């Protein structure tokens, strides 16, 4: 069972995120003031990550741009704004990410078959790429 500690909203800045301590149990969440869906999560192990929390198709989705230090606070905020804009435009970044992974896997499989000297027609390659 995961125990969470919710924290009030705060302006998310580098000094603020640097000062966040790991909770003794569970996870802590800090919501941004400027973009309420932009959240910093701190785990019991002290791992900090950013995510955008939005309801998409009736389900709560947590879209993670990155862990802390992989992107700066400002970069993560910009990524969160981009994700939010995609959602507002009717797109679902989670579904798009899964579709891209499937396309990539299918293309890799097609290239592996090709490298085994099996012949792939242009139609087969088109079908694999357009999945």
* DSSP secondary structure string for all residues of 114-126: HHTT----HHHHH
Does residue 22 sit in the same domain as residue 83? yes
Does residue 34 sit in the same domain as residue 13? yes
Does residue 19 sit in the same domain as residue 79? yes
**Phi, psi (5° rounding) for residue 54?**
-140, 155
Q: Sign of dihedral through CA atoms 76, 78, 81, 83?
A: negative
Overall average pLDDT of the 44-66 stretch: 82
Does residue 113 sit in the same domain as residue 80? no
Does residue 69 sit in the same domain as residue 40? yes
Structural domain for 28, as ranges: 4-91
Does residue 46 sit in the same domain as residue 15? yes
The predicted-structure confidence for 56-107, as pLDDT tens digits, reads as follows 778 877 777 667 777 788 888 888 888 888 777 777 766 677 777 777 777 7
- Would you state the pLDDT for residue 2? 57
- pTM, to two decimals: 0.59
Question: What's the total number of domains in the chain?
Answer: 2
């Amino acid at each position: 069972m995961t125990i969470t500690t919710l924290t009030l909203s705060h302006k998310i800045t580098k000094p603020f995120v640097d000062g966040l301590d790991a909770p003794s149990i569970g996870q802590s969440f800090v919501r941004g003031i400027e973009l309420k869906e932009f959240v910093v999560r701190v785990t019991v192990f002290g791992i900090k990550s950013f995510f955008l929390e939005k309801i998409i198709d009736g389900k709560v989705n947590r879209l993670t741009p990155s862990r802390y230090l992989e992107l700066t606070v400002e970069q993560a905020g910009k990524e969160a704004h981009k994700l939010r804009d995609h959602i507002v435009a009717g797109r679902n970044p989670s579904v798009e990410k899964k579709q891209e992974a499937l396309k990539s896997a299918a293309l890799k499989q097609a290239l592996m078959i090709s490298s085994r000297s099996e012949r792939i027609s242009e139609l087969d390659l088109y079908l694999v790429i357009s999945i």
